A and B are shown apart, each in its own frame.
Chain A
Amino acid sequence: MIRAGFWAMGGYARFVWPSIGFALSVLVWNVWSALRHQARTLVRVRRALQMARSEES
């Protein structure tokens, strides 16, 4: 696509592309995991606040 043999990486394609792929998926995982952590934390905190409020009343 970009130039002949770019995807072949000089014969090392089966090492280069999985490396790039793994590293990029680690970046993606970090974003996804942080979002999930945020969502779950909101749920936990809300639930804890509700319990505290119901204890007060």
Chain B
Amino acid sequence: MPWFFVVAAGMIGYGLVDGLVFAPPDYQQGDAFRIIYVHAPSAWLSLFSYSTMAFAGAVALIWRIKVGYAVAAAAAPIGASFTLAALVTGSLWGRPMWGTYWAWDPRLTSELILLFLYFGVISLRQAFEDPARGDRASALLGIVGFVNVPIVHFSVYWWNSLHQGGTVMRLGKPEMPGSMLWPLLAMLCGFMFFFGAVLCMRVRGEILLRERQATWVREAVQA
């Protein structure tokens, strides 16, 4: 797990320096496009975290594998923070390029709904006296809300929207030259490793909480 942090730091460090300093400016967006180096990875992680949370919840709910609840509980706040980052950086990017901080376009609206879903999952878990019921209710909401994930991704193709289609996450070649693309891929990977590292940190605590009756927990906590 510390290794994940080291790799993440390395990739994010390289990605930021290459993307902010060495990548050429865009022919129409100029230097404003460089926001992509934090916006796209945040957005991708917001969807990936939600998928992780929903999948873990489903495994726990259907196959009664309790560690799934721990993973789902751990992933929720992380994913919510990335969703917020995507929305804020996207808004700051939209103002100079589109001409507005916000629009009720399908992509932006569905990503905002994703943020509300995260908040819903987090609060639902705490709304129950019995943590086991909270876990189950939370998992169910997470699974149901998963329908929003493909909506966020495909919204720009299904409907006329202000937000453009994907540059990298698409069938076919990426619509970006190498000098701009490599730092973006590095940032994406770096964010993924970062997610893995932070998720591990949180899952440990979540498992301890749920298994505190067990003897191995007693010994681990005494140490």
Tell me whether A19 and B221 are in contact (CB under 8 A).
no
**Nearest opposing residue in chain A for B32, CB measure:** A12
Q: Give the distance in Å from the alpha carbon of A27 to the alpha carbon of B194 in the complex.
A: 8
Q: Tell me, rounded to whole Å, the shortest Cβ–Cβ distance linking A25 to chain B.
A: 9
Which residues between 3 and 27 of chain A lie within 8 Å of chain B, taking CB atoms?
A: 3, 6, 9-12, 15-16, 18-20, 22-24, 26-27
B88 near A19: Cβ-Cβ < 8 Å: yes
Most buried by A among B12, B77, B85, B217: B85
In the complex, the answer to whether A22 meets B208 with C-beta atoms within 8 Å is no
CA A2 – CA B31 in complex, angstroms? 15
CB atoms of B32 and A34 under 8 A apart: no
Pairwise interchain contact A49-B218, C-beta atoms closer than 8 A: yes
Residues of B within 8 A of A48 (CB): 212
Q: Given contacts A6-B21, A9-B32, A45-B212, are A19 and B89 in contact (CB under 8 A)?
A: yes
Interface residue count for A (Cβ, 8 Å)?
A: 33
Q: Which residue of B38, B89, B194, B209 is within 8 Å of A41 (Cβ)?
A: B209
Asked if B25 is an interface residue, CB under 8 A from chain A, the answer is yes
A3–chain B nearest beta-carbon distance, Å: 8
Task: List chain B residues, Cβ under 8 A from A20.
Answer: 16, 20, 35, 37-38
Contacts of B37 in A (CB 8 A): 20
Q: Is the CB of B217 within 8 A of A10?
A: no
Pairwise interchain contact B42-A26, C-beta atoms closer than 8 A: yes
Partner of A10, one of B30, B39, B84, B205: B30
B38 and A49 contacting across the interface, CB-CB below 8 Å? no
Q: Which A residue's beta carbon lies closest to that of B36? A: A19
Give the residue of A9, A26, A49 whose beta carbon is less than 8 angstroms from that of B81: A26
Interface centre among A6, A10, A23 (most CB of B within 10 A): A23
Give A22-57 interface residues, CB cut-off 8 Å to B: 22-24, 26-27, 29-31, 33-35, 37-38, 40-42, 44-46, 48-49
Complex: how many Å from CA A33 to CA B81? 11
Asked if residues A2 and B21 are in contact (CB atoms below 8 Å), the reply is: yes
Contact indicator B204/A12 (Cβ below 8 Å): no
Contact A29 B81 (CB under 8 A): yes
B178 located at the interface, meaning its Cβ lies under 8 Å from any Cβ of chain A in the complex: no
Interface positions of A (Cβ within 8 A of B): 2-3, 6, 9-12, 15-16, 18-20, 22-24, 26-27, 29-31, 33-35, 37-38, 40-42, 44-46, 48-49
Q: A12-B96, A15-B93, A16-B35 are in contact. List 18 more A-B contacts (CB 8 A).
A: A6-B21, A9-B31, A9-B32, A12-B32, A16-B32, A16-B34, A19-B39, A19-B93, A20-B37, A23-B85, A27-B12, A29-B81, A30-B198, A37-B202, A38-B201, A45-B208, A45-B212, A45-B221
